[in-house]
Amino acid sequence: MQYIILDLEFNSAYSKHRHKFVNEIIEFGAVKCDEQLNIIETFSELIKPQISKKLNSHVSALTHITLEELKESRNTFSHVISKFRKFLGDGVLLTWSNSDVLVLMENYRYFFGNDKLSFLKYYVNLQKYCECALGYQDKAHQLGLSACAGMLGLRFEENSLHRAYNDAELSAACFKALYHSELLEAFLYECNDDFYRRLTFKNYNICDLKDPHVEKKEMYFNCDTCGKRALRRSKWRLKNRSFRAHFRCIRCRRDFEGRIIFKQCYDHVEVIKRIAELPPKDKRRHDETAS
Ligand SMILES: [Zn+2]
């Protein structure tokens, strides 16, 4: 089994033709690893943009890629993707979060009229894998590549990041540091129809407490000081797609706002809880009732 770790750089380009923005890929960078996760082959190609004639300032600032470099490459998307297909072969594709696969599909749809990546056999979302392998618990924030590398004590140059090849190489180093064959199996997807349905499913926050997917038994908070169960002191209200209520810990006399999000994912509901300080107005009211 070979593992191909891919990273893409892309530019948000307005297509006059389609009257919409397209994330046009401008760079492919990838490494191929053997079963011991040694890098055995590399891939790095720039693409001359066909949709937009200019680069967004944040893309040039982040990547330091210039339009001249892209033009000099004389590569088209179609040319680079066919080279990459050969590079990938029957190997497993890994990317840091699934956004690069979605962008690849978007470019496929734009240039070829079909978004199924027919050459793809197996896929792993390396970000999800690393989060699990590290026991990363922060559901509100995804684990960034440089944060992951930092946690693993891997050395890298901060200003060399955001170039496709460097990011792919660093992703491969994280993968090697966290490799467990059994754990990997749980994250390995066969790229069948279900894979595409899962990939393109848009997660959303449930905004109705009567929704059958809302687990009422999750709607409690423990005090962030003593860890004991806090008392709910108000009704639940909905704000910014999270359910919020006032809580008090009787032991610590601590008042806080408990915020809970039920995120509907493809095949499960993720429960995200956060403790915040009470809004000033409510705090005053609580202080008054307390005194
Ligand atoms: Zn407490």
Q: 9 near 59, Cβ under 8 Å? A: yes
218 with 155, same domain?
Answer: no
Q: What is the pLDDT of residues 163-173, one digit of tens each?
A: 899 999 999 99
Is 122 in a helix, a strand, or coil? strand
Least Cα distance to 7 among 67, 91, 111, 93 occurs for: 93
254 Cα to the center of ligand 1, angstroms: 6
- Domain span at residue 136 reads 3-200
Tokens 């892209």 appear where?
A: 70
Least Cα distance to 139 among 269, 7, 34 occurs for: 269
Residue 213 DSSP label: T
Residue 67: Cβ within 10 Å count: 16
Q: What is the pTM of this model?
A: 0.79
Q: What is the pLDDT of residues 105-134, one digit of tens each?
A: 999 999 999 988 999 999 999 999 999 999
Q: Which helix (H) or strand (E) covers residue 28, if one does?
A: strand 20-33
287 Cα to the center of ligand 1, angstroms: 17
217 with 105, same domain?
Answer: no
146 with 260, same domain?
Answer: no
Amino acid in the structure at residue 55: L
209 Cα to the center of ligand 1, angstroms: 27
The residue out of 151, 172, 200 marking a domain boundary is 200
231 with 121, same domain?
Answer: no
234 Cα to the center of ligand 1, angstroms: 18
93: domain CATH number is 3.30.420.10
pLDDT per residue as tens, the chain (291 positions): 999 999 999 999 899 888 999 999 999 999 999 999 999 999 999 999 999 888 888 888 888 898 999 999 999 999 999 999 999 999 999 999 999 999 999 999 999 999 889 999 999 999 999 999 999 988 778 999 999 999 999 988 877 778 899 999 999 999 999 999 999 999 999 999 999 999 999 999 999 999 999 989 999 999 999 999 999 999 999 999 999 999 999 999 999 999 999 999 998 999 999 999 998 775 555 554 544
139 with 26, same domain?
Answer: yes
- As a whole number of angstroms, the distance between CA 114 and CA 239 comes to 39
17 with 133, same domain?
Answer: yes
33 with 132, same domain?
Answer: yes
Count of domains observed in the chain: 2
